[in-house]
Amino acid sequence: MRVPRLSLCAGLLAGAWLLLAPRPSVASTVIVKYRHAGSSGRRLSAFRRAGVTATVGSVRGQHARVVAVSGDPVVAARRLAAAPGVAYAEPNVALHAFAAPNDALLGQMGDLALIHALPAWSAIGLGAFPATGGVPVGIVDTGIDPSHEDLAGKVAACASSVEGTITVGSCADDNDHGTHVAGTIGALANNAVGIAGVAFASKLVVCKALDGAGSGTTADVASCIRWVHDRGAKVISLSLGGPGSTTLAAAVHEAWANGGRSGSVLVAAAGNDGSAAIEYPSGYPEVVSVAAVDDAGGHAGFSNANAKVEIAAPGVQVLSTKRGGGYVRFSGTSMATPHVAGAAALLWGLHRRSSAATIRDDLDATVVDAEPAGRDPYFGFGALDLARLK
């Protein structure tokens, strides 16, 4: 009997794109400007209704005041703006310096531009581009080249599986696929070479389940999922797919751990059949299924589209690391998956005491909706947009 095998979801293309957009975040203060008319008593009453607690500053040259509020500054500004004697009121939003890492190929990384990674990193306090401090991310794939200049020191733990038996300390990549995925997730930022990973501060827990041809058995994938989870991976990236099985379903169920604080967020490729076919593990309810978008943010023609798709991310002409050094462009839902895994790691970093289920909900909200409106088979809840991280 032929043993079902799970395989990677990737191809090779070339090209690049660039798009940047900022996003401010709302602070706990409001800017309010008064009209000359209006009594101080009416003004005080408006302050009370809006939850103003104190005047903390002013805007030079505009005769406007900065006031602290106890509740939502958007609601407070709306109430103040409607009050007699108030010319206007608006939230005192925070703006950020858009620090850019000095990675040599950053300008060719259209995927990071498409998901607004640079302004998001600054907004969440990663503008200094630390090499460590992020939550561990598990990668179940063809292994990794840990000597690559952009992956040096990134591997926290390494193993491989053969017929379900784990060998610790061996995870050499003999395909390129796993090294490419690893670079998209965790390549060093601001090291003056190559690229930057979405979650560049995260360590990688790597388990080789796929061989040089890019395929592996259910036993190997299931064993690797358990191994990376047991070693503390808060996110598990699975750029692979194939038929479902009781064994694979049990592995993802155990790693998800009912969505609790000990659970891992599992992220898997939707598949490259260009059809409505459902691949596994992406088809399991515990797993975030990732579709691919092209350089314009549209649905990639090769990407599967079905009711299991949860999020879409860049998956065409993605530049990342390759074994032996250097960089290569691959396309596939395999390339979209590590973008979402990296985003999940950033969310875990912001909310360390959260649960896997909450991080997944937050991840589903870190998107921009695409046509058709609402959740759909092509984009799921929408296309990944790190500007919406919170």
Q: Which residues are catalytic?
A: 141, 177, 334
DSSP secondary structure code for residue 120 in this structure: H
Burial track 100-113 (b if 16+ CB lie within 10 A, e otherwise) = bbebebbebbbbbb
The helix/strand/coil state of 226 is helix
Per the CB < 8 A criterion, the answer to whether 105 and 322 are in contact is: no
The residues near 290 (Cβ < 8 Å, ≥ 6 apart) are: 267, 268, 269, 270, 282, 309, 310, 311, 312, 313, 333, 336, 337, 339, 340
The helix/strand/coil state of 204 is strand
The helix/strand/coil state of 248 is helix
d(CA 52, CA 219): 60
Alpha-carbon Rg for the chain, nearest whole angstrom, is 23
Provide the CA 318 distance to its chain's centre, in angstroms: 15
d(CA 273, CA 144): 26
Query: At 292, which helix (H) or strand (E)?
Result: strand 287-293
d(CA 293, CA 241): 18
d(CA 206, CA 188): 16
Sign of CA dihedral 21, 356, 168, 201: positive
From residue 277, alpha-carbon distances to 230, 272, 305, 372, 389 in Å are 31, 9, 8, 20, 31
3-state helix, strand, coil in the chain (%, to 5): 25, 30, 45
From residue 5, alpha-carbon distances to 106, 213, 256, 278 in Å are 36, 11, 22, 15
Structure tokens at 21: 């957009």
